[in-house]
Structure 1
Amino acid sequence: MTSIAVVGAAGRTGRIVVEQALAAGHHVTAIARRPGALRPAGPGLTFRAADVLTPGSLQGLLDGHDAVISALGAVGRGPTTVYSAGTAEIVSALRPGARLLVISSAGLGVPAGAGPGARLAARLLHRLMRHTYTDMARMEDLLAAGSLTWTSVRPTRLTDRPATGRPRVCVDATAKVGAQTSRADLAAFLLDAIADPRTFRTVVAVSS
């Protein structure tokens, strides 16, 4: 049994992380700007309201947890600091060496074996998502420069399909994975990776 804080718990992925963590018997603190949007509290679940873009909003809320999972996400394709500023706020509330997992995107990297078509598609996607990817890159740079035991999980295009139970994973995100990732598979991987030392202080590509 693990004590987990989920930041961004009211989002589409965060909700599934909370549900799966509770089903696995973990204690969960669900943190969101509007935690009332989540299901009623039950055994093992605690709600906390916080806006990660407000300095100091997480102080004391993350204490005593074995791991923190950030399911923060930006809305739209415009300029954003949700990933970098939100993660900086999380980092400021954690002790050195604490376990933190964040959600990034497989679109940040191009696998070494990608063909010309895949590379062209990646360039077009980078242009389309440039603001989001720029902020995700800032987030990953922040983590790499710090002292936390972090993992940046890079899923491919997220879907609401059921879990396959067989996620494809590439530690260091150097090889191609699948084109789509169900949020249920992503949530399961995040929970499994908490205690997996192969994922410590690195990026991991994942798909269904």
Structure 2
Amino acid sequence: MRLTVFGATGAVGQEIVGQALDAGHEVTAVVRDPDRLPEGPPWADLHAVVRLGDEEAVRAAVAGRDAVLSGLGSRGRKSGDVAERLTGQVLRAMEATEVRRLLVVSAAPVGPEAADEPLPDRLMRKVIGAVLKELYVDLTRMEAALARSAADWTSVRPPKLTNGSRTGVYRTVIGGTPRSGRSISRADVAHAMLALIDDPAAVKQGVGVAY
């Protein structure tokens, strides 16, 4: 497939790029700072690198792609409107080029609580939601922008992210949240995003992912 990855220098974005290249996909990376791109394999196999913010170049990077994947988001607890604003740029480029398939990273607290979630997990969810309120408000607004768009979007909602290895073994709930899902590696989030590209059931849905 021909893929464009936004936020390719981020922790999840790097995993998406690496796994996509290893799988034989053609990958274009869109980044805020090209100097932050890793060196060596598999990065030497990138089809192209485009700077986010150059709207004409971004539209060209999106045009004709089979899917767009985004790891864009805040690098800290204070998000401002990073996810909403940058995802808006992605959506505008996709609309201009009539590209439909989009997968983004969001977060578990943005989705619904599992119906049978144990009390300790519900309480933990509330505490984390309060501590990271600004971040989740931004992601909620991002998802609202997705819902208003014409894109065939999927929002992947992980809980706590770790630096563990890719296992390929995790739970996914389309339109919901895995029960007692407390963590997942960034590598497995990337794996899930790539696996969901061709899943019609995930289109215009949030998908909870967790171990």
Q: What is the aligned partner in structure 1 of residue 183 from structure 2?
A: 180
User: Any idea what the Cα deviations from partners look like across 1:13-70, whole Å, max 9, x if unmatched?
Assistant: 111110000000000001101223222553353211224xx77773332111111001
CA-based RMSD of the aligned residues comes to: 1.8
More displaced stretch, 101-110 vs 114-123: 114-123
One-letter amino acid of the structure 1 residue matched with residue 190 of structure 2: A
- State the SS of the aligned residue for 1:58: helix
**Deviation for aligned residue 1:174:** 4.3
Runs of 4+ in 1 over 4 A off after TM superposition: 54-57
Q: What is the aligned partner in structure 2 of residue 197 from structure 1?
A: 200
Q: Which stretches in structure 1 are left out of the alignment for 5+ residues?
A: none
> Do 1:97 and 1:147's aligned partners in 2 also have CA atoms closer than 8 Å?
no
- State the SS of the aligned residue for 1:21: helix
- The verdict on how the C-alpha distance between 1:56 and 1:120 changes in structure 2, with shifts beyond 3 A counting, is farther
One-letter amino acid of the structure 1 residue matched with residue 73 of structure 2: G
User: What TM-score results when the alignment is normalised by the length of structure 1?
Assistant: 0.91
More displaced stretch, 59-68 vs 151-160: 59-68
- Aligned partners of 1:37 and 1:119: how far apart in 2? 38
User: What TM-score results when the alignment is normalised by the length of structure 2?
Assistant: 0.90
Q: What is the aligned partner in structure 2 of residue 153 from structure 1?
A: 156
**Deviation for aligned residue 1:156:** 1.3
Q: What is the aligned partner in structure 2 of residue 5 from structure 1?
A: 4
One-letter amino acid of the structure 2 residue matched with residue 181 of structure 1: I
Aligned length: 205
User: Any idea what the Cα deviations from partners look like across 1:116-146, whole Å, max 9, x if unmatched?
Assistant: 2222211111110100000100011111111
One-letter amino acid of the structure 1 residue matched with residue 102 of structure 2: L
Instruction: Identify, as 1 or 2, the structure richer in helix.
Output: 2
- Aligned partners of 1:148 and 1:116: how far apart in 2? 36
One-letter amino acid of the structure 1 residue matched with residue 105 of structure 2: I
> Do 2:108 and 2:157's aligned partners in 1 also have CA atoms closer than 8 Å?
yes
Which residue of the other structure, out of 99, 102, 111, is the alignment partner of 2:101?
A: 99
- Aligned partners of 1:177 and 1:168: how far apart in 2? 11
